Structure 1
Amino acid sequence: MKTPPYVLLMLATLLWGGNFVIGRAVSGDIPPLTLAFLRWCVAFIVFFPIAYRSLKHEWHMIKANWPIVIILSLTGVAAFNTLVYIGLHYTTSINASLMNSSTSIMIYILSFIFLREKLSKYQLLGTALSLSGVTFIISGGSIASLVDFTFNKGDLIVLIAVFCWSIYSLLIKHYAKRLPGQSTFLVTIFTGAIMLLPFYIYETATLTNLVHWQWSSIVAILYVGIFASVVAFLSWNSGVVQLGANKASIYLNFIPVFASIFAVLFLDEKLHAFQIVGGLAVVAGVIVSGRKVG
């Protein structure tokens, strides 16, 4: 019996929502570069037996598009999660997950700039709505912050991470017919981990208290390496195949919902009015921008 697509998509967003909370929860126990590196090492070990056979048959496709694969590894694997984990040292998991909701809007902007794709009136309106929501969140709902440009640096770092993920998503969409899914993901995991290795070594050499090894740290690494990476990826891809990319993308708005619930329940984070208002603006912008003209 085939699992319904909405179950797969909800599972993926639930696991990704948990990734923001886990990253925040262990920010004092595991340095960000170390967490990112260990995450992708675990993901590679788990995913290698699943995708190896496909890779043997599809290697020629990977090799033919290796510059794109390198960029995918840099933006989607090495940069995105590392920047998120760094940002979570300075901001809340709720803020970070809300910022992540602006991904589709950023993809529209990048498509307009680099692919010369025209923006519809709904996309323009949605972009304005979402960007205003993001600005409201990073300013903490304070006009004074907007005037003085005193933003939380963690929010800004996460925003850069979202920019990297948007580039990754745009390339994945653009090269979908030329790059096989599972094989490409396996290679980008390996390449991204290699990119992170020197930063991991540097962090290990310069920090005196590197990792506080305890059960919570081990569980966190296994969670982000297995569930937030491999299980979420396979669930999302399967759901997208069944439902279609456009209909599936709306499920990404559940990430901040799950992250906020987990953060309030397990991290004692407070959900503030400016986060609700800003988050609703971001989600509304995504919904409006997805409307078809006519």
Structure 2
Amino acid sequence: MKIPPYVLLILATVLWGGNFVIGRAVTGDIPPFTLSFYRWCLAFLVFFPIAYSQVKRDWQKLKEHWKVVLTLSLTGVTAFNTLVYIAVYSTTSINASLMNSTTPIFIYILSYIFLKERLSRFQIIGTVISLIGVLFILLGGNIESILQFNLNKGDLIVLLAVFCWSIYSLLVKQYSNRLPSLSTFLVTIAIGAVFLLPFSAYEMITLEEPIIWTPKVLGAIFYVGTLASIVAFLSWNKGVIQIGANRASVFLNLIPVFATLFAVLFLGERPIMAQMIGGLAVVGGVILTNRK
């Protein structure tokens, strides 16, 4: 039975939306570097039998572009999710997912700066609208916050995470014809887990109380390590192959929708007016930038 591409793309965004809520739900139960480390260890174990044969076949290409592979691992595997898990200690999962929606905007800006790609009129207008939306979310709708430098630390960390993910996405776009996706993903997972190991070990050593491996913690690791990593990745890739990257990119705007829904249902978070107005500006700006 062939699964329609739109179902695959929606499934991926549902799982990625849940990632923000899961990270927020286990703050205090498992530290962020350790959660990220166990996530990618589990993802590696699940993905290894799927992609190992392709790694052997593509090893020469991976060695040839080892600097790119290393950067992909540092930005997309090591930094992005870990920073998100750190951020949700001091911001809501709704805010984090809304900030994440600015990824296309950062990609356009980086492409303009480093690749000298020209921005269209719609991209410029959409970027300005989205950045205004981000500022509105950061300020919580209160303009006095910027005068008092009273910005939420967690929101700023999410923006740093988005910057890392934008670099990752830009490299994926630039090297999509030179680096095979499945084998590259497996290798970046392995490298990322190695980078995260010393940070996780430090967290474990310095914890005041040891981690209690409750069903909640184990379920969170299972979710982020299999569903949000492997199932979402494979579903997204298959959907993109069937309908194209441009049409698929619009579906990324569903991530904050699902994250907000899950946050309200499972964490008791309540969206405030500033988030709704800022979120609409962010998503509207991103949609506008995709116009030809």
**TM-score of Structure 1 vs Structure 2, range by shorter chain:** over 0.9
The corresponding residue for 1:140 is 140
The corresponding residue for 2:280 is 280
Deviation at 1:21, TM superposition (A): 0.2
> 1:270 is paired with a residue of what secondary structure?
coil
Distance in 1 separating the partners of 2:281 and 2:187:
37
Distance in 2 separating the partners of 1:98 and 1:221:
23
The corresponding residue for 2:162 is 162
Distance in 1 separating the partners of 2:262 and 2:131:
25
- The answer to whether structure 1 residue 187 and structure 2 residue 187 are counterparts is yes
Deviation at 1:63, TM superposition (A): 0.8
Distance in 2 separating the partners of 1:14 and 1:22:
12
For residues 207-242 of structure 1, what are the alpha-carbon distances to aligned partners after superposition, in whole Å with 9 as ceiling and x for unaligned?
A: 122423100100000000000000000000000000
Q: Percent identity?
A: 65
> 2:130 is paired with a residue of what secondary structure?
helix
Distance in 2 separating the partners of 1:63 and 1:32:
31
Matched ranges for 1:82-93 at <5 A: 82-93=82-93
The corresponding residue for 1:32 is 32
The corresponding residue for 1:201 is 201
The corresponding residue for 1:81 is 81
* Partners of 1:27 and 1:88 within 8 A in 2: yes
Q: Report how many residues are paired.
A: 292
The corresponding residue for 2:260 is 260
The corresponding residue for 1:241 is 241
- TM-score norm. by structure 1 comes to 0.98
> 1:12 is paired with a residue of what secondary structure?
helix
Deviation at 1:148, TM superposition (A): 1.8
Task: Tell me which amino acid in the other structure corresponds to 1:138.
Answer: L
Task: Tell me which amino acid in the other structure corresponds to 1:258.
Answer: F
- The answer to whether structure 1 residue 224 and structure 2 residue 224 are counterparts is yes
Deviation at 1:53, TM superposition (A): 1.1
Task: Tell me which amino acid in the other structure corresponds to 1:178.
Answer: R
The corresponding residue for 1:43 is 43
Aligned in 2, Cα 1:145/1:217: closer, same or farther, shift over 3 Å? Answer: same
* Partners of 1:31 and 1:210 within 8 A in 2: no
* Partners of 1:126 and 1:288 within 8 A in 2: yes
The corresponding residue for 2:53 is 53
Deviation at 1:245, TM superposition (A): 0.5
- The answer to whether structure 1 residue 63 and structure 2 residue 93 are counterparts is no
Q: Which runs of 5+ in 1 are unaligned?
A: none
Task: Tell me which amino acid in the other structure corresponds to 1:115.
Answer: L
* Partners of 1:44 and 1:190 within 8 A in 2: yes
Moved more, 188-197 or 206-215: 206-215
Deviation at 1:129, TM superposition (A): 0.5
For residues 98-152 of structure 1, what are the alpha-carbon distances to aligned partners after superposition, in whole Å with 9 as ceiling and x for unaligned?
A: 0000000100000000000011110000000000101110111110012222100
Aligned in 2, Cα 1:257/1:167: closer, same or farther, shift over 3 Å? Answer: same
Task: Tell me which amino acid in the other structure corresponds to 1:239.
Answer: G
Moved more, 211-220 or 81-90: 211-220
For residues 16-74 of structure 1, what are the alpha-carbon distances to aligned partners after superposition, in whole Å with 9 as ceiling and x for unaligned?
A: 00000000000110100110000000000000001011111111111110000000000
Deviation at 1:180, TM superposition (A): 0.2
Q: Which runs of 5+ in 2 are unaligned?
A: none
> 1:3 is paired with a residue of what secondary structure?
coil
Distance in 2 separating the partners of 1:266 and 1:242:
33
Deviation at 1:161, TM superposition (A): 0.2
* Partners of 1:130 and 1:286 within 8 A in 2: yes
Distance in 2 separating the partners of 1:209 and 1:255:
34
